[in-house]
Chains A and B, each alone.
Chain A
Amino acid sequence: GEDVEQSLFLSVREGDSSVINCTYTDSSSTYLYWYKQEPGAGLQLLTYIFSNMDMKQDQRLTVLLNKKDKHLSLRIADTQTGDSAIYFCAERPRDDKIIFGKGTRLHILP
């Protein structure tokens, strides 16, 4: 089946690193995504990783993919107040469909 699981909440102190974890079920997924949703807004594509990659880094964002365990993580270095949002993990098992997790709400502590 198709299912994406992620924890619902994460609290991190400003300046620390945030790590959001996700597990997915479909091993045929060619792309895995991280989206950010700020309050009352749509989804912003943060980053994505192709299934034949183990890691992708883009400025403060690092994505790690463990394909064997179907585990994806997003690390945000030096977390800022502007990073407060809901982060959705998503897999794309077929070209026409993206399966989203329920989202992890990241709360930044001063």
Chain B
Amino acid sequence: GAVVSQHPSRVICKSGTSVKIECRSLDFQATTMFWYRQFPKKSLMLMATSNEGSKATYEQGVEKDKFLINHASLTLSTLTVTSAHPEDSSFYICSARDRGIVQEHRTQYFGPGTRLTVL
């Protein structure tokens, strides 16, 4: 199946710093990528949807100035957590959707996730 990578897999940073997480589709082009946040023992919360070359669409309650998303190419999207605080510590997962011709048949493939710990 299709492969989506994330980098880094784990990051520890000090409060107040910014952290960038990369999401790449390795063997397919993804016009749309999604960023999720997963809390312990909870489901995935969709944070935003990004389309290549345009601004991301954020879900209600997600601060766009805090979680900056850039989708500059068909294989790369980045999430930057700005001025990170301990409450931003979480598991962040990206997914990429292939460019299937038939809209209904497009599938989302998930990355392995990035564990962010803010001290």
Interfacial chain A residues near B41, Cβ < 8 Å = 8, 102
In the complex, what distance in Å separates the CA atom of A98 from the CA atom of B6?
Answer: 20
- Tell me whether chain A's interface is mostly helix, strand or loop, or mixed: strand
**Interface membership of A100, Cβ < 8 A:** yes
In the assembled complex, how far is the CB of residue B109 from the closest CB belonging to chain A, in whole angstroms?
A: 7
Within 66-119 of B, Cβ neighbours of A (below 8 Å) are at 93, 95, 103-104, 106-113, 115
In the complex, what distance in Å separates the CA atom of A44 from the CA atom of B95?
Answer: 11
Q: Using a CB–CB distance below 8 Å, which chain B residues touch chain A?
A: 1, 4, 6, 32, 34, 41-44, 46, 49, 93, 95, 103-104, 106-113, 115
- Can you list 13 A-B contacts (CB < 8 A)? A30-B104, A42-B111, A42-B113, A45-B108, A45-B110, A50-B104, A88-B43, A88-B44, A96-B49, A97-B49, A98-B46, A102-B42, A103-B43
Interface centre among B34, B44, B106, B107 (most CB of A within 10 A): B44
Q: Using a CB–CB distance below 8 Å, which chain A residues touch chain B?
A: 4, 8, 30-31, 35, 40-45, 48, 50, 88, 95-98, 100-103
Interfacial chain A residues near B103, Cβ < 8 Å = 95
| Inter-chain contact B6/A42, CB cutoff 8 Å | yes
In the assembled complex, how far is the CB of residue B42 from the closest CB belonging to chain A, in whole angstroms?
A: 6
In the assembled complex, how far is the CB of residue A92 from the closest CB belonging to chain B, in whole angstroms?
A: 9
In the assembled complex, how far is the CB of residue B65 from the closest CB belonging to chain A, in whole angstroms?
A: 22
Interfacial chain A residues near B104, Cβ < 8 Å = 30-31, 50, 95
Interfacial chain B residues near A95, Cβ < 8 Å = 103-104, 106
Interfacial chain A residues near B1, Cβ < 8 Å = 45
